[in-house]
């Protein structure tokens, strides 16, 4: 990790490191569910 903050968008969410708990690059159902939830919230709320 480079210590910089990232602006998460629906477009870059899949490639960003989201913390030690869900930072794996390997497909995992829980990680993918969290990414989907975050993407939906970004799209819905304009975060």
pLDDT tens figures, 21-30: 555 667 778 7
Position 38 in a domain: yes
Which is more confident, 5 or 29?
29
Q: List all residues 6 or more positions away from 9 whose beta carbon is below 8 Å from its beta carbon.
A: 42
Burial of 18 (0-12, 13-18, 19+ CB in 10 A): middle
Q: Has residue 47 got a pLDDT over 60?
A: no
Q: Has residue 16 got a pLDDT over 50?
A: yes
For residue 32, give its domain range: 13-45
Dihedral angle over CA of 11, 8, 2, 34, nearest 10: -90
Position 27 in a domain: yes
pLDDT at 1: 47
**Confidence class of residue 17 from pLDDT cuts 50, 70 and 90?**
confident
Position 5 in a domain: no
Residue with tokens 């975060």: 47
Q: What is the pTM of this model?
A: 0.48
Total structural domains within the chain: 1
């Amino acid at each position: 990790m480079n210590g910089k903050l990232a602006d998460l968008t629906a477009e870059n969410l899949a490639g960003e490191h989201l913390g030690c708990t869900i930072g794996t690059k390997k497909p995992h159902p829980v990680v993918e569910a969290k990414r989907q939830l975050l993407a939906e919230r970004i799209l819905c709320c304009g975060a």
